[in-house]
Structure 1
């Protein structure tokens, strides 16, 4: 299957899954209106979906490092959709919480393996990975429109219709998985050089992603209110600012991959964070309509590195790409989101401007962390990361391995090992 077609199918499938990440918050007003849930109750529902999904993602990543599980793409998609679809049918808070948690687990199961599959299908193209990331961004942004179109017309009883994107996404990924299985079978006899994990660089990368998450989630939560409260502001202006923040993210996702195909990923991410520093400062301090320019620059600057950070994490941990994807896509994002309550507390005690001012430091910290990161060599796109991990472990147990546990030289990969590893593709 041509690379572009594979990436388009995976990107659309990614959108179908991430619809359910945005759907939970979009259902909140309907839960309050129809079931009289308190703000604390609906906050618990949102937390059950987002936090559980983000924390569980590294677990699925570790599992996919041990065994190839491409079936998680359709299964996770279906699970994510079914959970949201059923959440509107039961008036029981406990059941609603359980169904939303099931959806979060489905989303968590999908992402680490989909990041690995997309990396294989992209054949090392950073722009292709940018398009894959764009799919998720558009899916999240589309969720409010989809939920409103379905639920506003007939109430929560129509929530089963929300399973339609999941059905579509689960079907779209199947041709890609079949094509990759054929490619893996054809390449099963090739030699692979066991890779070495750069844990120190991965930790610094993860910290940079946390800083990015703090500023983006903080702005996503409060920028609409902040623009509305400024002199000359209005509810329309606040909504427009949030819209620009999300639209800039869509542009940044694609732009980051294209720039990384010309320059290396670390350089592109470093310059993006550098541009984000004055842009975030502009959001906080620049008066008048010029603030929308700052919002657009901030959004693009924070999203340009997004897909690049995923592939960098995979290259820093080449024997544990599932774990790398689970952490960069999930855990670090949830940790960054925990800062929002702190921002709200400071805003209640002082003002929103005072609470948002420390966010200027976040892209600066990401920039400093990226200054210490090397540009890793990308692994062969046809090589099996799981098979490479297995071979590295086997080489370390051989007498010819070096004292520090690394193999002394190139080792030929047993075709049966790769065939076993890729039997699910």
Structure 2
């Protein structure tokens, strides 16, 4: 009964540091697969806008600035609001926020398919962004609850769905938007409809999980945190977010600007360069899946350190690689760099176990959203200098991963959790 009491006392952060307890819930793989499927659907819908942007620009005679505002609005709405939603749900867990968020997304998709004005497009973007902001913190909470003792694996299963969805934009452009134009977005209501049905199933499981905790809920006297430990945790979160910025900046340099370098250096067509980016993205999906379970075995901090700094040697070689060697370098670096994608979320959840939704929103939302601004900065630097200078400079970014060595160890985090629970 002790483990159930601990779970109820700080839902959903029982055993937040992986501390052995008398009873551990089994991993609910059906829920993890379901929430990963919805993550795929959600991020596929978000990928609609980059895919349809050239069509919108032509149909509505938009300027490049107006086109950029569409993507900026989507990213900032979905990213910045995630910690806010997470903060609210930490205090009032709400299972049916999940399908409600997807309903907002469905309305946004309908508007984008039928709209003929720029204002309506921006309204659609806001609705899809809001739906995504509602989804991610609560979905991360579901993955946490369904994980049992395998939090790294659980978060990897969840994140793989999102990464797979994000990679579908080129396919959607070729198969849907070029043949059917803007109205082709209407077909994605089938995807959102499926996602709503799956999320209703997840919400029922989520509600049942909460109901099993309620009878055992027990008020725990708040303990004042040691100031030194509080400073250590605050510093660790700030450092973790900074490292995510760095990783996102390098990821943006490769996924957005490396194709231009290939075209400039080898006179490749844009279609040819997409093969390289697909290899990098596919390796990233595999790395995301493997990183979580590996961190369950060797520790979160070790995987975070290796996922950034481990990419440095090949990152430094990439600007000088020929067209053949670029393939294995991109594959290996995609595998390494994105292996820490899900691990960063789990590490933050265990670092601050009482705020699962807030830290999930902070890491997956605000950190990635602001980190994406690095892509804008990189583009500006290219305009001021040259493509080769900036891409060569960006190859040094993974070296900053050395700072991950100064993150608190997994053992230290477990010790803090033991002190806080009094176990």
TM range (shorter): 0.7 to 0.9
| Structure 2 CA distance for aligned equivalents of residues 407 and 52 of structure 1 | 35
1:164 and 2:164 correspond: no
| Structure 2 CA distance for aligned equivalents of residues 339 and 333 of structure 1 | 10
Query: 2:112 maps to which residue?
Result: 87
Task: Give the 3-state SS of the residue equivalent to 1:289 in structure 2.
Answer: coil
Query: 1:150 maps to which residue?
Result: 176
1:148: Cα distance to partner? 4.3
Residues 370 and 173 of structure 1: is their aligned pair in 2 closer, same or farther, counting only changes over 3 Å?
Answer: farther
Correspondent of 1:242 among 264, 274, 277:
277
1:266 and 2:309 correspond: no
1:287 and 2:312 correspond: no
1:277: Cα distance to partner? 0.6
Residues 271 and 207 of structure 1: is their aligned pair in 2 closer, same or farther, counting only changes over 3 Å?
Answer: same
C-alpha RMSD of the superposition: 2.5
1:203: Cα distance to partner? 1.6
1:377: Cα distance to partner? 7.5
Correspondent of 1:113 among 138, 143, 150:
138
Query: 1:423 maps to which residue?
Result: none
The answer for unaligned runs of 5 or more in structure 2 is: 1-25
Correspondent of 2:261 among 210, 213, 226:
226
- The one-character-per-residue Cα deviations of 1:225-283 (angstroms, maximum 9, x if unpaired) are 11121136443441111111211111011110121122111112212222211122122
Query: 2:94 maps to which residue?
Result: 69
| Structure 2 CA distance for aligned equivalents of residues 203 and 33 of structure 1 | 42
Query: 2:18 maps to which residue?
Result: none
| Structure 1 CA distance for aligned equivalents of residues 299 and 181 of structure 2 | 49
Moved more, 249-258 or 270-279: 270-279
Moved more, 23-32 or 174-183: 174-183
1:10·1:173 contact (CA, 8 Å) conserved in 2? yes
| Structure 2 CA distance for aligned equivalents of residues 324 and 9 of structure 1 | 22
The answer for unaligned runs of 5 or more in structure 1 is: 380-387, 389-405, 411-425
Matches within 5 A, 1:22-61: 22-61=47-86
1:378: Cα distance to partner? 8.1
| Structure 2 CA distance for aligned equivalents of residues 371 and 378 of structure 1 | 13
Task: Give the 3-state SS of the residue equivalent to 2:396 in structure 1.
Answer: helix
What is the total number of aligned residue pairs between the two structures? Answer: 385
Residues 47 and 64 of structure 1: is their aligned pair in 2 closer, same or farther, counting only changes over 3 Å?
Answer: same
2:304·2:340 contact (CA, 8 Å) conserved in 1? yes
Task: Give the 3-state SS of the residue equivalent to 2:259 in structure 1.
Answer: helix
1:59·1:323 contact (CA, 8 Å) conserved in 2? yes
Query: 2:10 maps to which residue?
Result: none
TM-score, length basis structure 1: 0.84
Query: 1:348 maps to which residue?
Result: 383
Residues 238 and 20 of structure 1: is their aligned pair in 2 closer, same or farther, counting only changes over 3 Å?
Answer: same
Correspondent of 2:129 among 104, 120, 130:
104
Correspondent of 2:251 among 216, 220, 233:
216
1:20·1:81 contact (CA, 8 Å) conserved in 2? no
TM-score, length basis structure 2: 0.84
1:150·1:162 contact (CA, 8 Å) conserved in 2? no
